[in-house]
């Protein structure tokens, strides 16, 4: 049995990396997130025919693309001709590279990559372009009647933050929030991911980057998500306050998410 088939949250795609169902988790106070309604992944530019068939089977109603315009132009998603999903993205997010590329330079070491990712997670919840993407994501969850998929490039940082915030506000237990986040390190073949994404990094920076450095840039660690939550709690008394003041989502909208996705 492959690693992919050992976890019920991981979908067995070939060239769509990090594809998962982030529903199904127990929620505080009783209930469970609906399965087969909430999906996350990396970008779909290299999707195979079988990958597209799998996506079709999910009957997605919306795909929320958290990438910048530059990223979408460089690596446009592949879609099935029968797809009926509405494609959503932020019009204001124009010039940016994926975090796992933006943190790299010719002198990058594993220690530097970890430090830069910590900084990314520290500031991301308050960066205007990321706030806009988060608003887009949560609005789509509220407004879409059916299954949704959220993705970025690797499906681990921007998507990881968005999903962790959703899990937190909806009441998923903290251990499950981190377990879902860390599934990036299990979903699919990391070596294949390094080959896929590492090509563009090395094309930009040269061939001297070590495999260890690339591996760390394409993986996640508990400390990153801890840093994100810590940065929010330094400025806000609660996650609900962050949603109200920064994302502009009130308690009625949060209650709506609860009623919609918890069974």
Convert the pLDDT of each residue in 208-240 to its tens digit.
778 888 889 889 999 999 999 999 999 999 999
End-to-end CA distance of the chain: 31
Map residue 196 onto helix, strand or coil.
helix
Give the chain's mean pLDDT. Answer: 92
Confidence at residue 114, expressed as pLDDT on a 0 to 100 scale: 95
- In this structure, are residues 43 and 12 in contact, taking their beta carbons and an 8 Å threshold? no
The architecture in CATH of the region 4-95+107-261 reads Alpha-Beta Complex (3.90)
* pLDDT score recorded for residue 3: 37
Mean pLDDT across 74-102: 92
* Crossing angle of helices 251-261 and 128-143, rounded to 10°: 50
The token pair that represents 44 in the structure block: 């779909």
Q: Report helix, strand or coil for 40.
A: strand
Sequence ranges of the domains in the chain: 4-95+107-261
Report the percent of the chain where pLDDT is more than 90. 80
Give the closest residue to 86 by CA, choosing from 36, 138, 148: 148
- Nearest-angstrom CA–CA distance, 241 and 247: 9
What is the structure's pLDDT at 207? 66
Q: How confident is the model over 34-57, as pLDDT tens digits?
A: 999 999 999 999 999 999 999 999
Q: How far is CA 65 from CA 14, 106, 150, 173, 206, in A?
A: 20, 29, 6, 26, 28
- pTM of structure: 0.94
pLDDT of residue 4: 38
């Amino acid at each position: 049995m492959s690693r992919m088939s050992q976890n019920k949250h991981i979908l067995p795609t070939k060239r769509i990396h990090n594809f998962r169902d982030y529903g199904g988790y127990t929620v505080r106070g009783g209930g469970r997130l609906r399965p087969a309604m909430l999906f996350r992944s990396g970008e779909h530019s290299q999707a195979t025919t079988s990958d597209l068939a799998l996506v079709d089977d999910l009957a997605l109603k919306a795909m929320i693309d958290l990438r910048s315009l530059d990223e979408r132009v460089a690596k446009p998603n592949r879609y099935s001709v029968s797809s009926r999903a509405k494609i959503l993205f932020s019009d204001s997010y124009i010039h940016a590279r994926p975090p796992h590329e933006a943190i790299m330079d010719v002198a990058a070491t594993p220690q530097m990559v970890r430090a830069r990712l910590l900084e990314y997670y520290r500031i991301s919840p308050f960066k205007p372009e990321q706030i806009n993407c988060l608003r887009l994501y949560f609005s789509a969850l509220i407004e879409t009647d059916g299954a949704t998929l959220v993705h970025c490039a690797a499906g681990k940082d921007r998507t990881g933050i968005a999903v962790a915030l959703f899990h937190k506000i909806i009441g998923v237990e903290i251990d499950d929030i981190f377990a879902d986040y860390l599934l990036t390190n299990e979903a699919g073949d990391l070596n294949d991911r390094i080959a896929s994404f590492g090509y563009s990094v090395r094309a930009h920076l040269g061939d001297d980057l070590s495999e260890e450095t690339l591996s760390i840039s394409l993986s996640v660690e508990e400390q990153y998500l801890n840093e994100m939550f810590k940065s929010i709690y330094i400025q806000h008394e609660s996650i609900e306050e962050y949603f109200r003041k920064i994302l502009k989502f009130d308690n009625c909208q949060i209650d709506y998410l609860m009623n919609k996705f918890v069974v």
